[in-house]
Structure formats: C-alpha cells, structure tokens
Amino acid sequence: MKLSADEVKITRSILRASFEMWENILDIDVAIVGAGPSGLTCARYLANAGLKVVVFERHLAFGGGTWGGGMGFPYIVVEEPANKILEECGVKLKKMDDYYVADSVEVPAKLAVSAIDAGAKILTGIVVEDLIVREDKVAGVVINSYAIEKAGLHIDPLAIKSKIVVDATGHDATVTNILVKKNKLDLKVYGERSMWAEKGENQLLENTGEIYPNLFVCGMAANAVKNGYRMGAIFGGMYISGKICAEKIIEKLKE
C-alpha cells in the first residue's frame, strides 16, 4: 500500500472547502454567539426547524463552562424537565436525590453532535467583536479570528448578515455589552448577582428573549443583562433557556 500526500492538493482542498463554506454563510437566519450549553441547545432547535444557523465560538473548543463540571469534579447537575433535552441528544443521566447528574464531557460532545446533525454550523476560533446595526435594529455580526484578537493585532474584521443574533456568551454578556457601549443605548446591563441557584434558574427562563430588535439573549447572558442570580454547576436552566430562545425566534421569523 502507498499513501498519497501531496502538499498542494491538501492545501487546495482545505482552501476550497473553506471558501465554499464561508460563501454559504454570508447571509443567514440566526447567528448565535457562544457555543456553551445554551447556545448549542438553541442552535439544535433552530436548525431542526429548518433555519440557517451558525454558532460563532471564540475558543477552539465548543462547550463553554461545561467541561470542568463543578470545581473540576467532572459531573453537572440537571433538574426536571431539562433532563428530557439531554436525553433527546443521547446523554446518559443518573438520578441522584432530586436531580439528575451527567458526565461533564459527554454533555457538550453530544449536544454539539446533535446541533451539527440538525444542520447547524459551529465555527470555533472566531470572535464576534461588534454587531451590524441598521436603523435601530441588529442586522448581523462583525467577526474576527481569535488568534488575531489574542495577538493584539490591528487587523480589520469581516461581517455576516443575519436576521437574528443571539447573545449566548455567558456571564459577561459580551455581545449585549458591545451593543450598548458602542451605540450609547439606554439599555442597562447590570451584571449577574451572587449565587442563588433556585431563584437564578427560574429567573433565567423569564429573562430569555428579545432585548433589542433582532437581538435575543439566552443562558447566563440573560441573567447577566437583567441582574439575575448565578447558579453554579446546575445546568437545566441553560438547556431550557436555549430551547425557549429558539421557540421565540421561530415565532418572530414567522411574522
């Protein structure tokens, strides 16, 4: 047996596939910023509904704050009815006391696979550094490479048009903060409150939704924007928030 490995052909294949991919996502239905638990769940439900969805994630890995479980102990806790969302993705859950526990590596892996299989594109190593805003409505995302950001290089970004943008950036609510700061909006981003798991989980469901025309928030970003409590290593609210956010977007896009 002789394996063929021509450098030019390898390079050409990668470049062609990349250009094809980028061209196909220049104008999309939903741009989700952040591939944590809420963003991935939201992507899965939107893609299942037939929408063109791209998730932009700063780091090279998807999963956000799930991988390390609670303080490095590799399990997360999920409460009913969020267990059903993970079960749909094939995650194995174990009942303990009033909760379910799940392997903190299995969960992001299976959530991402289910979002990809539904048709969502996940792009890692890409930072959303600004938004396109037209006549007081969000109209897309301004993106750059994480490597460029990390190196502190002054290299201009590119842009993607999107009917809806989702801020699923977690505790820092970076997208909403950028929108408010750059456009001098009255909208105040309060930041999250100290931990109160039960209250935080329930506030999250109320705080999920559209906060500015065409900008939705889900996951911890939704509580950070509205000064909701943080919850720690209980994740059910993140999955339900992602699902509610997808349902609200589907409803809006029907209008």
The minimum distance between CB 48 and ligand 48F, in angstroms, equals: 18
Torsions phi, psi for 137 (to 5 deg): -135, 140
Structure tokens at 219: 């996951």
The smaller minimum CB distance to ligand 48F, of residues 29 and 229, is found at 229
Q: What residues are paired with 170 via a beta bridge?
A: none
Q: Which residues bind ligand 48F (CB under 6 A)?
A: 33-39, 56-59, 64-66, 127-128, 168-171, 174, 219-221, 230-232, 234-235, 238
Residues 127, 172: Cα–Cα separation, whole Å: 14
Helix (H) or strand (E) holding 146: helix 146-151
3-state class (DSSP) for residue 65: coil
Kindly tell me which of 196 and 213 has the beta carbon lying closer to ligand 48F: 196
Query: Tokens 């220049």 identify what position?
Result: 26
Q: What is the smallest separation between the CB atom of 137 and ligand 48F, expressed in angstroms?
A: 20
- Nearest approach, Cβ of residue 22 and ligand 48F (Å): 17
Of 74 and 232, nearer to ligand 48F (C-beta) is 232
Pair type for strands 121-124 and 99-103: unpaired
Region label for 34, one of left (φ > 0), alpha (ψ between -120 and 50) or beta (otherwise): left
Bridge partner list, 216: 166, 210
- Are 36 and 65 within 8 A, CB to CB? yes
Is 2 or 86 the residue whose CB approaches ligand 48F more closely?
86
Distance of closest approach, residue 3 Cβ to ligand 48F, in angstroms: 36
CB of 4 or CB of 149, closer to ligand 48F: 149
CA distance linking residue 37 with residue 58, whole number of Å: 14
Nearer to ligand 48F, 13 or 65 (CB): 65
Minimum distance, C-beta of residue 1 to ligand 48F, in the bound complex (Å): 41
Pairing mode of beta strands 193-195, 229-230: parallel
Q: Nearer to ligand 48F by C-beta: 216 or 235?
A: 235
The distance of closest approach from Cβ of residue 14 to ligand 48F in the complex, given in angstroms and rounded to an integer, is 23
Q: CA 42 to CA 245: how far, in whole Å?
A: 6
The residues that bridge with 68 in the sheet, in sequence order, are: none
Taking the complex as a whole, how short is the minimal distance between the CB of residue 111 and ligand 48F, in angstroms?
10
